[in-house]
C-alpha cells in the first residue's frame, strides 16, 4: 500500500468529489421538482398534459443516461445548440431522474384516500391548500423509500459524467490509471463514493423514522 499515492492525489479526488456532489445535488433537485409536476399532472388527469407526461416518463426511464448525455453534448451542436458539459450533466440527470421521481410520487399520491380529499374539500380548502396540507405530506411519506432509492441511484449514475469531459470522480480515476497503483486508485474511488452516498442513505433513514413517529405510514 503506497501511502504517498494517497497523499499526492487526495486533493484531486477531493476536487472531483466536490464537482460530483454539486452536479448530483442540482440534477436531483430538479428531478424532484420535475417528477412532482408530472405526478400531479397524471394524478389530476389534466387533458393534453397527462399523455405528454406519460410519454416523457416512459422515455426517461427507458433510455440510459449515457445515451442522453451523448445526445446533449454531441448531437445538439449539429443543430447549433451547444451546451457546456456541466449543463449537459445537470439536464441529463434531471431528465432521467424526473421519470423515476414521477413514478415514486405517483405511488404516494395514489395512496392518499379519496375520503380525506373529499373531507378537505368539504372544509372549504382550495385545490392548492388541499395539495399543500393534505395530499403532499402523505404522498411524501409513502414515497419516502422510493425517493431514497432513486436519489442513491442517481448519485451512482453520475459516474458517467466523464463522457462529457467533466473532471468527476471517475474521470480522475481513469486519468490516474496510467500511474499504476490500481489498488490505491480503486480504494480512493470507492471510498469517496461511500463518503457521498452513506450520509444520504442515513439521512433518508432518519427521515423515514421521523415520519413513523409522527404517524405517517411508510
Question: 164-208 pLDDT, tens per residue?
Answer: 988 899 999 988 887 777 888 889 999 999 999 999 999 999 988
Q: Is the pLDDT of residue 216 over 90?
A: no
**How far is 125 from 129, CA to CA, in rounded Å?**
6
Task: Give CA angle at 20 (160, 163), nearest 5°.
Answer: 25
In angstroms, rounded to a whole number, what is the distance separating the alpha carbons of residues 171 and 167? 5
Q: Alpha helices of the chain — where are they, by DSSP H?
A: 3-43, 49-61, 65-70, 85-110, 114-122, 127-130, 136-157, 169-176, 182-213
pTM score: 0.89
pLDDT tens across 185-194, in order? Answer: 889 999 999 9
132-155 pLDDT, tens digit each: 888 888 888 889 999 999 999 999
pLDDT at 203: 93
Going by pLDDT thresholds of 50, 70 and 90, the confidence category of residue 214 is low
Selection from 137, 131, 106, 102 nearest residue 117 by Cα:
131
Res. 218 pLDDT band, cuts 50 70 90: very low
Listed residue (32, 109, 98) closest to 65, CA to CA: 98
Are 188 and 9 in contact by the 8 Å Cβ rule? The answer is: yes
Q: Over the stretch 40-83, which tens digit does the pLDDT of each residue have?
A: 999 988 888 999 999 999 999 999 999 999 999 999 999 889 99
Do 104 and 147 meet the contact criterion of CB atoms below 8 Å apart?
A: yes
Is 25-165 in CATH node 1.20.120.1730? no
**What phi and psi, each to the nearest 5 degrees, are found at residue 163?**
-70, -15
Distance, in Å, from the CA atom of 130 to the CA atom of 44, rounded to the nearest integer, reads: 13
* DSSP label at residue 112: S
Residue whose C-alpha is closest to residue 152's, from 37, 66, 28: 28
Amino acid at each position: 500500500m503506497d501511502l504517498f499515492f494517497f497523499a499526492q492525489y487526495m486533493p484531486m479526488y477531493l476536487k472531483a468529489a466536490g464537482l460530483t456532489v454539486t452536479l448530483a445535488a442540482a440534477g436531483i433537485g430538479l428531478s424532484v421538482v420535475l417528477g412532482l409536476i408530472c405526478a400531479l399532472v397524471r394524478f389530476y388527469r389534466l387533458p393534453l398534459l397527462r399523455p405528454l407526461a406519460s410519454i416523457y416518463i416512459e422515455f426517461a426511464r427507458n433510455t440510459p443516461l449515457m445515451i442522453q448525455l451523448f445526445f446533449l453534448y454531441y448531437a445538439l451542436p449539429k443543430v447549433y445548440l451547444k451546451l457546456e458539459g456541466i449543463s449537459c450533466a445537470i439536464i441529463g440527470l434531471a431528465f432521467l431522474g424526473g421519470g423515476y421521481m414521477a413514478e415514486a410520487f405517483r405511488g404516494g399520491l395514489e395512496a392518499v384516500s379519496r375520503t380525506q380529499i373529499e373531507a378537505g374539500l368539504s372544509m372549504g380548502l382550495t385545490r392548492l391548500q388541499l395539495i399543500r396540507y393534505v395530499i403532499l405530506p402523505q404522498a411524501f411519506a409513502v414515497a419516502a423509500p422510493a425517493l431514497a432509492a432513486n436519489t442513491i441511484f442517481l448519485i451512482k449514475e453520475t459516474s458517467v459524467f466523464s463522457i462529457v469531459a467533466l473532471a468527476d470522480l471517475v474521470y480522475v480515476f481513469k486519468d490516474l490509471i496510467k500511474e499504476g497503483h490500481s489498488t490505491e486508485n480503486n480504494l480512493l474511488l470507492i471510498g469517496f463514493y461511500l463518503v457521498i452516498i452513506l450520509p444520504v442513505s442515513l439521512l433518508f433513514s432518519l427521515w423515514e423514522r421521523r415520519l413513523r413517529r409522527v404517524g405517517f405510514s411508510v
